[in-house]
Chains A and B, each alone.
Chain A
């Protein structure tokens, strides 16, 4: 039976037939059909769709979805060593509480600033704390994710320099590369890869010097790199870029910035990155939170994509307040000449990150960086003593991710990971197809949430698997 026949749906108060009739009387119609009378008959749906027919009770919805989710196995149920763009970090309880406040949750983009000061201030604080962390001057209030932020950064660099070539490291996340290409190609940009030092994984400077030219709009690097090592030549790369009039774009994992030198102190003109680790759960890869920041240079700031919140005063000058700034760059005003088409972004995730950054403070970020680096390097030391394993491949310092190679064991990553899973452990990401030259290699991730026990368990299991062979 249709539960809506005589009563309203809980979410639709006016769906009560009696109220509908009252309203129709007021409008002067007899049936709702009259409001659709201008739609050609041939388009009117004649048959029910293949979707659930009746409204379910809230209890049934809950039971149904919980049953489906129960089929998943999460990192709460097994030690897991996956990272590569989406990382397991602890989300403090207060972060979750704040982003569930319905005044934040159910509000729209703050078009009417006087009634939206809370969201505007929270986003201004997010921007400001991202600036402190990255040592940049201006940040927008979010992009969709790191990958799309990179795509936008490349396009921005091209607009600023009026050039069309982007240089990127060969060691880059394949999904970020694919996204960059999707954003770059329609703008007529070409993306060129710079190779790496086989020994350390770091960017090959000779290769960069060979590739860079007066056509180069931007040089992009990631630090820590996709494969986890720390790039140490950042300042040389920056000066090489600037020497040729190109912009320098740096991609970061912000959890490293309590201990690693921030992009703003290394000559970055634009910083992009992924702030999901700062207070946002993994959620199977989305929503994420793209960082986008630049220097205080109007040539850059005017070309920035995305929403930016600014400080202002009331008209009478008596009080401070916040509102959206530089809207003339945006699509709703500039239309096809806008710096980007983005409007809805990841604002609430940015609020979560603001709460997270405020909770941690300078000391918390140092402690976070240290905890991650200790634990990841502990995992490296535990795995590298397993016979048949090389971890990591590169002779470089690693932050939270590192490569694990099984070539000497004569096993594929796939085989090892299958056996690990049988033992209730989830291995890292198989990157052997992404970088065939690195052999049977996986990318492992260890953060502050991994315990020494879990790490020991992993090393032990891999040891057994390799011995069994």
Chain B
């Protein structure tokens, strides 16, 4: 049975002793100090720190133990199934980690002379070419640090394109389906656009009628993920692309769901003008508890001139960083991207090759449809939107019936799943499904693990109908039982730092 470590580990501020040290730093040599003289005189009086920061005073031993214990109260892909829909939690190859930790990468500075960075430029240049091939785009920019950062860049490119055509003033709207990831409308708004939402039809796909009614000379573009967040392929993509392009808009591909399409269908071939790729989803790099990821953006030939600087160029013998791009949108971050993450993606592509990546796509779809089949008939769960249609990378069940009949909600199911030693699916998303359980097994997990997951859900359903209390109060086997998430955000009880905590304690007396 699963039982997570439960250390009751104090905050690091409550460990250690006064004056205890955790690390010996290199110091300045005596003759250096003598040559420079008294630092106290060197630091301007008004800018001297007089109150030392109240950081912990702990030994290396305590630091190692503390964070090791914390890690034991966490759950990753290496611990077991992690079917978090739309997050593509797949295995993260260890060889990629090892390579990304080599000093030959770690100790490289971004402003080094070109003659000393030919190796890393070659890796990044080739990765750009491979990603362009894989997405069917013309050029790829590796700069964005995450998917949403890629979306921000994408919407800036849409801006730049319409500005160049002198139409930005009137093209104020970006269309997103109601099933879209929250980042899509947020990114469009960040780039200064108004968001127009189009509903999905009964089959879970974008309603063509609604789309036609939504487009106008104000349309700047459409942001779409395909397959969509229900795991369903947007069958009318041909028509959608035509409608948007005819209206003078651009088509943006949210790459969060690219995994099942690898080496089978390319966004560029479907008519998308801008594509972002979640490297930390599709290309096997770890999520690290919320980053660092990488969100490269691929574009059609027409948009390439707008990409951020510098671009990596190759003349057949020499790699160079080219800043001379007069129409570039400039920069969305410092330097050239999350290079350590990108190197892992390079290793991932080499480790799989075209054939392996195609296998990734197909097995991710096979696994999702297999799980869907296995979960068919679990009491209280239904599969909304055309249950006859094969899903792609994920399937979305609804626990509405179970909630009505037993009071057990999607949230309760998710919490109870943790007790079975599997991570919960994404819940309450997409918004168009009530009590949604969004399940993406990825290609990573073996049939036996998928069976265990299905079995766990079946048991939870049984519990819901026989002893709902058990499910309603879950979890029991995690480091802590159910947390009060409302309290964490309530102005009166909110504590966002140790400093705030101490302040609250003083106020309470």
B147 interface hit (Cβ, 8 Å): yes
Shortest Cβ distance from A162 into chain B, in angstroms? 16
B25 touches A448 (CB 8 A): yes
Query: In chain B, what residue has the closest Cβ to A332?
Result: B182
**B55 to A133, Cβ gap below 8 A?**
yes
**Do A452 and B289 have beta carbons less than 8 Å apart?**
no
- Do B182 and A40 touch across chains, with their CB atoms under 8 A apart? no
Q: Name the B residues within 8 Å of A407 (CB-CB).
A: none
A26-82 residues with Cβ-Cβ distance < 8 A to B are 26-28, 32, 34-40, 42-45, 48-56, 58, 60-62, 64-66, 68-76, 80, 82
Residues of chain B with a CB closer than 8 A to A55's CB = 351-353, 355-356
- Given known A-B contacts A85-B335, A142-B291, A175-B331, A327 and B489 have beta carbons under 8 A apart: yes
Q: Contacts A51-B349, A107-B75 given: A348-B489 contact, CB under 8 Å?
A: no
A49 B287 Cβ-Cβ under 8 A: no
Q: Are B335 and A115 interface neighbours, CB within 8 A? A: no
Residues B111 and A84 in contact, CB atoms below 8 Å apart: yes
Interface flags for B51-83 (1: CB within 8 Å of A; 0: not) read 111111110100110111111111111110010
B350 touches A56 (CB 8 A): yes
Residue interface mask A333-372, B partner, CB < 8 A = 1: 1111110111111111101001101111111111110110
B55: A residues at CB distance < 8 A? 129, 132-133, 357-358, 360-362, 365
- Residues in A neighbouring B130, C-beta threshold 8 A: 50-51
Q: What class of interface size applies to chain A in its complex with B?
A: 35 or more
Question: Known contacts being A65-B346, A108-B289, is A363 close to B67, with CB within 8 Å?
Answer: no
A360 engages B22 (CB within 8 Å):
yes
Binds B, one of A210-218, A312-320, A386-394: A312-320
| Chain A min CB distance to B317 (Å) | 13
The answer to whether A258 touches B496 (Cβ under 8 A) is no
Q: Give the residues from 405 to 452 in chain A that come closer than 8 angstroms, CB to CB, to chain B.
A: 417, 421, 426, 429, 448-449, 451-452
Q: Which of the segments A237-245, A276-284, A461-469 contacts the partner chain?
A: A276-284
A-B contact count (CB 8 A): 731
Q: Is the CB of A314 within 8 A of B481?
A: yes
CB of B113 within 8 A of chain A?
yes
Q: Determine the residue in chain A with the shortest Cβ distance to B374.
A: A26
Residue of A nearest to B30 (CB): A452
Instruction: Tell me, yes or no, whether B466 is within 8 Å of chain A by CB.
Output: no
**Contact in complex: B32, A374 (CB < 8 Å):** yes
Do B291 and A348 touch (CB < 8 A)? yes
Residues of A within 8 A of B212 (CB): none
CB of A371 within 8 A of CB of B424, answer no
**Closest CB of chain B to A340's CB: distance in Å?**
7
Other-chain contact of A132, B155, B392, B498 (Cβ < 8 Å): B498
Q: Is B460 an interface residue (CB 8 A)?
A: no
Quick check: A335 and B186 within 8 Å, CB to CB? yes
Closest to A179 in B: B331
Contact A72 B330 (CB under 8 A): no
A92-134 interface (Cβ within 8 A of B) = 92, 94, 96-119, 121-125, 127-129, 131-133
| Minimum C-beta distance from B330 to chain A (A) | 4
Q: Does B105 contact A (CB under 8 A)?
A: yes
| Inter-chain contact A12/B443, CB cutoff 8 Å | yes
Pairs across A and B, CB under 8 Å, 29 listed? A51-B134, A52-B350, A53-B355, A54-B356, A61-B351, A65-B350, A68-B119, A108-B82, A111-B426, A113-B480, A117-B478, A148-B149, A257-B53, A259-B43, A261-B48, A282-B107, A309-B496, A310-B489, A310-B494, A315-B483, A321-B483, A340-B186, A341-B189, A341-B190, A348-B286, A355-B63, A364-B25, A371-B26, A452-B31
